[in-house]
Amino acid sequence: MDEEMSQGMLRLGRREFAVHEPVIMAIVNRTPDSFYDQGATFRDEPALARVEQAVAEGAAIIDIGGVKAGPGDEVSAAEEARRTVGFVAEVRRRFPDVVISVDTWRHEVGEAVCEAGADLLNDAWGGVDPKLAEVAARYGVGLVCTHAGGAEPRTRPHRVTYDDVMADILQVTLGLAERAVGLGVPRESVLIDPGHDFGKNTRHSLEATRRLGEMVETGWPVLVSLSNKDFVGETLDRPVKERLIGTLATTAVSAWLGARVYRVHEVAETRQVLDMVATIAGHRAPAVARRGLA
């Protein structure tokens, strides 16, 4: 195996991803009140159809969430597990090779979904429950270490300030990543995430994007969750259903700067953007190259 590939390999579930291989993580919300799709995949059959479509369009990871990120009705750990565990087991049965991620901050839910076949725990709230990393270590699954600015789960930022937002992002995510490895999480299965919009205002999220290369330079694979977020909406003054172009522009910049995993709603469009950037960068050949050769 090429030395660069082996050194930068990302291993999740049964899959291995080389250093210059962009990876799509498709969002499947098992919530009745999700901000983007308003519960379109809350029921099993639409959710399974969404998984099938996402895999067909090029997603390697399916990210299953049982609690809306923003404020809303209280969702207990038991209810979150009810929404996700059986679904994880069914996705595992139908799609044995897909990487299954679960978006949760609770160790009780993490334990249950790992038992059901999850490969990755996506901790979007920055280690608020330190036992979640212990669960990842015990099951040998991957972990996403996110910067959330110390925010409590499901709260919105209010007048949050940083002396240097990227310095804070690096301190938090690298600390969480090293702790996870120290607990026994496989190093090649740990990712870091700047946490766009989590504990940040729009200017913070834009700066985190602009300086994403600083995260990439640490050597940890970087995951970005950009899809239709408020910082895109505020930048362009667009409602949630009109943020695709801004999201794809931000995706292209993040890809050029070296992000590895992209958590998205629109898989097919993201795949084209990532393929285009990878080809410009010289990491992928054109799908067709006939021009000037006939």
Single-letter amino acid, residue 263 = R
User: What tokens appear for 96 in the block?
Assistant: 């044995």
In DSSP terms, which residues pair with 121 in a beta bridge?
Answer: 102, 143
β 99-103/142-146 pair status: unpaired
Report which secondary-structure segment, H or E, holds 158: none
If we measure between CA atoms, which residue out of 34, 180, 20, 38 comes closest to residue 63? 34
Contact predicate 182/174, CB 8 Å = no
User: What tokens appear for 146 in the block?
Assistant: 């996110």
The residues that are catalytic are 229, 263
The radius of gyration computed from the CA coordinates of the chain, to the nearest angstrom, equals 18
- Give the whole-angstrom CA distance, residue 125 versus residue 110: 14
